[in-house]
């Protein structure tokens, strides 16, 4: 995978298709992976596109974020990652619902068996 070095908040924001302040908030609130070569809390930042892509894929999405019209503004790779994550979340939710139904059926069957044996 070709990894790009993003050398400023502006480059990171552009890569993600968001504003600079939004990306800074993501770093503060959601631990967006940025590095501070100076080692100080408010020093210049760099980020690696591979780490950002991994973070984006692994970060739970808020319901409705980003909306379809917002996705059109994202970089193509970021947009694809967001869509993949949303698809996987939907698939996992359906699997969880099926599992919950199976557990409830199994519990009901167990209750019936216990009543019959009592």
Q: Which residue has the tokens 């379809």?
A: 68
Q: Whole-model pTM above 0.85?
A: no
Q: List, in sequence order, every beta strand (DSSP E) within the chain.
A: 5-6, 47-48
Q: pLDDT band at residue 7, thresholds of 50, 70 and 90?
A: very high
35 beta partners: 46
Burial of residue 79 (CB within 10 Å: 0-12, 13-18, 19+) is middle
pLDDT digits over 55-108, tens only?
Answer: 888 876 554 455 555 556 667 777 788 788 888 888 888 888 888 888 889 988
């Amino acid at each position: 995978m070709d990894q790009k070095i993003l050398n400023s908040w502006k480059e990171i924001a552009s890569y993600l298709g968001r504003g600079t302040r939004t990306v800074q908030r993501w770093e503060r609130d959601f631990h967006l992976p940025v590095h501070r070569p100076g080692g100080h809390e408010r020093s210049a930042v760099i980020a690696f596109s591979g780490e950002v892509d991994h973070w984006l894929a692994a970060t739970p999405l808020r319901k409705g974020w980003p909306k379809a019209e917002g996705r059109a503004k994202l970089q193509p790779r970021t947009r694809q990652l967001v869509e993949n994550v949303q698809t996987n979340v939907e698939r996992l939710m359906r699997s969880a619902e099926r599992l919950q139904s199976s557990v409830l059926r199994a519990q009901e069957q167990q209750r019936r068996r216990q009543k019959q044996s009592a």
